[in-house]
Amino acid sequence: MLLGLSIRDVVLIDRLEIAFAPGLAVLTGETGAGKSILLDSLGLALGARADSGLVRPGAPQLSVTAEFSLPAAHPAFALLAEQDLAAEDGLVLRRTVAADGRSRAFVNDQAISVGLLRRLGETLVEIHGQFESHGLLDPARHGAVLDAFGALDVAAVRTAHAAWKTAQRARTDAEAALARARDEEDFLRHAVNELNALAPEPGEEDSLAARRAVMMHGEKLVEGMNAALQALSGKGEVEAALRAAQRALERVADKAEGRLDPVIAALDRAADETAEARNLLDRVSAGIDLDPRAQEKVEERLFALRAAARKHGVPVEGLPALRQRLADELQSLEAGGEGLARLTAAEAAARTAYAEAAKALSRQRLEAAERLDRAVAAELPPLKLDKARFQTRVEALPEEQWGDSGLDRVTFEVATNPGSAPGPLGRIASGGELSRFMLALKVVLARTSPVPSIVFDEVDSGIGGAVAAAVGERLARLARDLQILVVTHSPQVAARGGQHWHVAKGDDGQGGTITRVSPLGPDERREEIARMLAGARVTAEARAAAASLLGA
């Protein structure tokens, strides 16, 4: 609820502090005293359009601060969280407007945009008056209002809608991917066939490069290896010489007391290694292919692998993996129709589930609309709106407009004269009628409203007597659940207030005029209500009538 309003340098107000309490607060005063300035000031704090003409003459800027106490679950905190702004259990909204028209907005002393201030203000206060009204006049909110009135659970519809849209996106993404793949199908098939024919193997490039290097120097290698073989196998063969030396030493070894044993062993090893070297040399020599065609084949294979790698932008070592990936994509393309069919079926099932949940909600809305219409109709006759008719229209939307709140468009309509067709709530010509319609609606919707404070500006315009008393009784009833602020000229309404503020013009002591707002005690309230009853000359009868109203 609104705890306080602080106003600095707004038109005729220099400095003003007002503390509000729960329940019904009334503001009274002569016409032109400045009551509208208070509402303009509150509107600025709630994000209304700024006008430099509101800055008090001679002041550099105006400033308005509104302080609120709110429950932790209030929607304003969710709005702040979206903007990464910290807030605790209360909010302080502040607005400044400079004489040159520049405007700034703050929440809890943190600078914010005026747009965010307006969004916050819409969750905190509704203003219904002769020339402006917020909240229930916005058709976009009527569906949520009806759902709250009927205690309808929209969560299942929201969940089903989200599931449908997820399935729809999966299907459209699959269609797009399949279309792209089909555009590339010829390339995929050609690339896969080409790589299958090439059949690259891991590590093949290094192996071919090594073979090519050997083959390029084959003649020199063979010449060198032949010379080595000749040295090992020709006249005076090395192995034979080693074995002869070994046998000679073995014949005299027993006479050397073991000193020749290491020598004999070394000669044995040397003979064995020489034989192994010759055998290895034979195998290497036999493996060298001096056929020019063999070298050409190796080079052709190596160059083919490298050309394919350049074509596809991968290293030669990556060709086997590329071959597998392209083959998998081609296989997926061939099976893509089946996958798309499954996704299409899943989307259809999700749409059906959403439609069933939304249709059930629509039926509940129609029932709630009938209850709401009956409840509002019962409130209209005492408010001198007995010829008016209120109607909640629940209209089916085309599928392209279905949303997470269902299949319907909900609008509140009224007809003020018998026989006239109902029209949008906001097109009522009379400001007084509009305020009384809003009062009737608010009385019915009080327990479901997320907005904790409501302002009615001259809701009693053009009425009196029993009708004014009925307005006052409904305002008092509404104030049991919400904080209500009423600007009124009706003594019957003023008498219902738990707080009473009097607005009047006065001398600022410097030859100028200022607006003052004063809280009234019991005696002052009786005198003010008597003035409202009697006019310029307050009589004893008027005071007695005022006392009677206050005691009612």
SS3 assignment, position 543: helix
Type and span of the H or E element at 228: helix 218-233
Q: What is the pLDDT of residues 256-297, one digit of tens each?
A: 777 777 877 887 888 778 778 777 776 766 666 555 676 677
Type and span of the H or E element at 218: helix 218-233
pLDDT the model gives residue 257: 73
CA 26 to CA 301: how far, in whole Å? 98
Q: What dihedral angle (degrees, nearest 10) is formed by the CA atoms of 167, 169, 174, 177?
A: -170
Type and span of the H or E element at 505: strand 499-507
Q: Radius of gyration (Cα) for the chain, nearest Å? A: 48
pLDDT the model gives residue 403: 93
**Where do the DSSP E strands lie in 109-168?**
110-112, 125-128
User: Is 486 within 8 Å of 492 (Cβ atoms)?
Assistant: no
Q: Which residue has the tokens 């028209």?
A: 101
Q: What is the pLDDT of residues 188-202, one digit of tens each?
A: 788 888 888 888 888
Domains of the chain: 20-47+114-155+361-551 (3.40.50.300), 181-334 (no CATH)
Average pLDDT of the chain?
Answer: 82
pLDDT the model gives residue 220: 62
CA 105 to CA 107: how far, in whole Å? 7
Q: Which residue has the tokens 């000193």?
A: 259
Closest to 56 (Cα-Cα) out of 515, 436, 528: 515
Structure token pair of residue 169 = 């996106």
Choice between 142 and 240, residue whose per-residue pLDDT is larger: 142
The residue-averaged pLDDT of 14-25 equals 90
Q: What is the pLDDT of residues 125-172, one digit of tens each?
A: 888 765 455 567 778 888 988 998 898 989 999 999 999 999 999 999
CA 529 to CA 549: how far, in whole Å? 9
In one-letter notation, the amino acid at residue 34 is G
Choice between 64 and 234, residue whose per-residue pLDDT is larger: 64
Q: What percent of the chain has pLDDT over 70?
A: 86
The residue-averaged pLDDT of 413-430 equals 77
CA 193 to CA 327: how far, in whole Å? 9
CA 526 to CA 56: how far, in whole Å? 33
Type and span of the H or E element at 306: helix 292-312
pLDDT the model gives residue 131: 44
Q: What is the pLDDT of residues 334-377, one digit of tens each?
A: 666 777 888 999 999 999 999 999 999 999 999 999 999 999 99
Choice between 372 and 304, residue whose per-residue pLDDT is larger: 372
CA 550 to CA 26: how far, in whole Å? 13
Torsion-angle region of 108 (φ positive above 0: left; ψ -120 to 50: alpha; else: beta): left
pLDDT the model gives residue 135: 60
User: Is 454 within 8 Å of 424 (Cβ atoms)?
Assistant: no
In one-letter notation, the amino acid at residue 429 is A
pLDDT the model gives residue 231: 62
* Lateral strand order in the sheet of 24-28: 125-128, 453-457, 483-487, 24-28, 499-507, 513-519
The residue-averaged pLDDT of 237-253 equals 73
Q: Flag whether pLDDT at 217 surpasses 80.
A: no
CA 426 to CA 126: how far, in whole Å? 15
Q: What is the pLDDT of residues 463-479, one digit of tens each?
A: 677 888 888 888 888 88
Q: Flag whether pLDDT at 67 surpasses 90.
A: yes
pLDDT the model gives residue 369: 94
pLDDT the model gives residue 158: 94
One-character DSSP codes across 53-98? GGBPTT-SEEEEEEEEE--TT-HHHHHHHHTT----SEEEEEEEEE
